[in-house]
Amino acid sequence: EPCSCVLETEQHQELAKALNRLQEEAEEKLLKEGHRRQNVRRNLFLNLRYEGTDCAVMTALLEKEEKMKKVEEEEIKGFGDRFLSSYKREFGFLLEGRKILVDDIRVRAEASCGEEEGDARMEDEEEEGSECAAEEAEETASVYFEGGRQETPVFLLENLRRSRRRRVNGPAILLDDISTILVEPCCEAELTKDGDVRIRVGKQEVQRRTEELDLILLSIFSHRFMSIAEQMGRTLQRTSMSTNIKERLDFSCALFDEQGGLVANAPHIPVHLGSMQDAVR
């Protein structure tokens, strides 16, 4: 629900009351749907921003959902600490001395059937099925991986579920009516008792790169560097308080090497294109 207050000690009581009321309403809705009270979990959020900025960060109090319990005033202070941590991680700096404003209050509640732990134990105790051989595949396809093309067996999930074949070593392709699952080399796919696919990711030897030109890698890194420069511009626009930067977009962002050579220049202000390298040097 909307809110308009400062995140300070005097407001902790009112914020705790609002969060308690929202989580009670959320719990009541889940109970009406037939869920048990002990299976209901919740997390608490405040949409926070620095005074004088319009970039709000939805801040969660908990790492993950926990059982319903009353929110105490002392817990509200945790929102401020988590907001500062999130803001620092996203933008790289903090606005010291600025008040933190609360724009919205949010509670997310969810309920489970209460059978996850039992299912996990059953899967652990389940007898491992045998491994599928490449000769049992429906067909073989040539698939390009990081190390080059490999002949990859293609299996139908429907046939695997009917058989006792539970494990498929990569590389492999698993086909279903509505999906295609690629099992990469050094990985293993396992079918659970419910017919789901669980993939274990293995370790692959890192290939050493040579000075030989690879056009695919050249294109990939070219777009990566350009994306970094563009994200720099978006972050600058979001965090700036200057009208020239926030609205007129009067800035440019670029990446340079250690000698001042231009690596990637985002297309922000056309007049800056081509001149930033000389300015940096």
pLDDT digits (tens, 9 = 90+) for 194-246: 778 889 888 766 566 677 777 888 899 999 999 999 999 888 887 777 888 87
pLDDT value of position 165: 64
pLDDT value of position 164: 67
Range with lowest mean pLDDT among 11-15, 114-118, 170-174, 192-196: 114-118
Q: Which two tokens stand for residue 3?
A: 């809110």
Question: Strand 165-169 to strand 187-191: parallel, antiparallel, or no bridges (unpaired)?
Answer: antiparallel
Residue 99, Cα to own-chain centre: how many angstroms? 29
Residue 83 pLDDT level (bands cut at 50, 70, 90): very high
pLDDT value of position 227: 93
Picking from 95, 38, 30, 102, the residue whose alpha carbon sits closest to that of residue 67 is: 38
**Mean pLDDT for the chain overall:** 83
pTM as predicted: 0.52
- Helix 215-239 crosses helix 77-91 at what angle (to 10 degrees)? 130
Residue partners of 59: CB distance under 8 A and separation at least 6 = 45, 46, 47, 48, 79, 82, 83, 86
Q: What is the mean pLDDT of residues 148-176?
A: 85
pLDDT at residue 100 greater than cutoff 90: yes
Q: How far apart are CA 103 and CA 85, in angstroms?
A: 18
pLDDT value of position 117: 44
pLDDT value of position 84: 92
Could you list the beta-strand ranges (E) of 20-147.
40-50, 57-60, 66-67, 100-111, 130-131, 139-145
Angstrom CA distances, 148 to 145, 152, 154, stand at 5, 12, 18
| 51 against 162, higher pLDDT | 51
Could you list the beta-strand ranges (E) of 34-132.
40-50, 57-60, 66-67, 100-111, 130-131
Tell me the pLDDT tens digit for each residue of 107-151. Answer: 998 887 654 444 444 444 444 556 777 777 889 999 988 778 899
DSSP state of 9: G
pLDDT at residue 40 greater than cutoff 50: yes
pLDDT value of position 36: 85
| 30 against 64, higher pLDDT | 30
